[in-house]
Amino acid sequence: MSQETESTGNPIANPDPSVLDRLRFARQDVAAKLPPLRGQRIAYLLVSPFFVLFGLFLAFPVVYTLYLSFFEWQSVGQGNLFWIDFGPFHVTVPRIAELQFVGLSNYTRLLGDGLFWQSMFNTTYILLIQVPIMIGLALALAVALNASFVRFKGLFRTAIALPISANIVAYSTVFLLLFNEQFGFVNYLLSQVGVSPIAWLTSEFWARKTIIAAVTWRWIGYNMIILLAGLQNVPQQLYEAAEIDGAGRWEKFRYVTLPQLRPVLLFVVVLSTIGTFKLFAEPYVITGGGPTNATITIVQYIYRQAFVHWNLGYASALTVIFVALVSVISIAQIRIGGDD
What 3-state DSSP class applies to 92?
A: strand
| Nearest-approach distance from CB 128 to other proteins, in angstroms | 18
First to last CA, the chain: 28
| Nearest-approach distance from CB 149 to other proteins, in angstroms | 6
Binders in 188-217 for other proteins, by CB under 8 A: 188, 201-202, 217
Binders in 254-293 for other proteins, by CB under 8 A: 260, 263-264, 266-267, 270-271, 274, 277-278, 280-281, 288, 290-293
Binders in 4-43 for other proteins, by CB under 8 A: 5, 9, 11, 26, 29-34, 36-40, 42-43
Instruction: Say how far apart CA 84 and CA 287 lie, in whole Å.
Output: 50
> Which of 134, 135, 215, 225 is close enough to bind other proteins by CB under 8 A?
225
Spell out the residues 6+ positions from residue 217 whose beta carbon is closer than 8 angstroms to its own.
Answer: 163
Among the listed ranges 12-20, 125-133, 140-148, 190-198, the one in contact with other proteins (CB under 8 A) is 140-148
Give 58: exposed, middle or buried? Use CB within 10 Å, 0-12, 13-18, 19+: exposed
| Nearest-approach distance from CB 318 to other proteins, in angstroms | 9
| Nearest-approach distance from CB 15 to other proteins, in angstroms | 16
Binders in 96-135 for other proteins, by CB under 8 A: 96-102
Q: Measured from the CB atom, is 13 or 32 closer to other proteins?
A: 32
Binders in 296-315 for other proteins, by CB under 8 A: 299, 302-303, 306-310, 312, 315
Q: Measured from the CB atom, is 129 or 329 closer to other proteins?
A: 329
Question: How many angstroms from the chain centroid is the CA of residue 340?
Answer: 22
| Nearest-approach distance from CB 315 to other proteins, in angstroms | 6
Where residue 292 falls (left for φ over 0; alpha for ψ -120 to 50; beta otherwise) is left
Binders in 41-100 for other proteins, by CB under 8 A: 42-44, 46-47, 49-51, 53-54, 56-58, 60-65, 67-68, 71, 74-86, 92-100
Extended beta strands in the chain, E state = 71-76, 80-86, 89-94, 97-101
CA atoms within 13 A on the CB side of 317: 21
Binders in 158-177 for other proteins, by CB under 8 A: 158-171, 173-177
Neighbours of 247 (CB within 10 A): 26
Instruction: Say how far apart CA 213 and CA 184 lie, in whole Å.
Output: 15
**Residues present in the chain in total:** 340
Q: Measured from the CB atom, is 48 or 128 closer to other proteins?
A: 48
